[in-house]
Amino acid sequence: MNRERAVNAVYELLKALDQDVDSDGLKDTPQRVADMFIEQCNNREPELDRTFEEKFDEMVIVRDIPFVGCCEHHLVFYFGRAHIAYLPRKRVLGISKLARLVYHCSIGFTIQERVTKEVADTLYEEVDPIGCMVIIEAAHGCMNLRGARTIGSSTVTSCVRGVFRDVPAARSEFMSLVAKGNIR
């Protein structure tokens, strides 16, 4: 990534918006904004190859995984929580790996629907569970700050693979356990 070009681009954007780029409040803004986007686009691969051979055939759920994404349509951030369940086949994944997977799929410029699908597909393909389900709920800056200006709204996306798609009872169990107040 070219930090200097990114700083200059932010500087030029502020000037194009007729802002006083030499004011105390804006003089360091091009560097801060460039660093923020560079950090958001820093791709680190998740370590899903570290699994444990373990006989465990019950549902594993990690819920309320915080994340931040950046809308590729408006370059405005969205943020929320991911809830993930999987039913192990032969291998159990370290639970922190699920949070790292969400982080990995949400960096860069993307959309929530793609993040949801990438988390589910990666987990299903790399860990080979009997099934997995991902639900993401997020508030979008692009909806809150412009256009519809729907402050307080959230968007929910889900992706279902394997047993969670084919067996309604498995999906219902996950949904009831993720519902606020059922686990604490």
DSSP label of 47: -
Residues 11-57: tens digit of each pLDDT? 999 999 999 999 999 999 999 999 999 988 887 676 676 666 777 88
Residue range 3-40, CATH number: 1.10.286.10
- Residues 54, 88 contacting (CB under 8 angstroms): yes
Residue range 51-178, CATH number: 3.30.1130.10
Q: Residue ranges per domain, the chain?
A: 3-40, 51-178
Q: Which residues of the chain have pLDDT under 70?
A: 44, 46-47, 49-52, 180-184
Q: How far is CA 103 from CA 55, 61, 66, 125, 155, in A?
A: 28, 17, 9, 18, 18
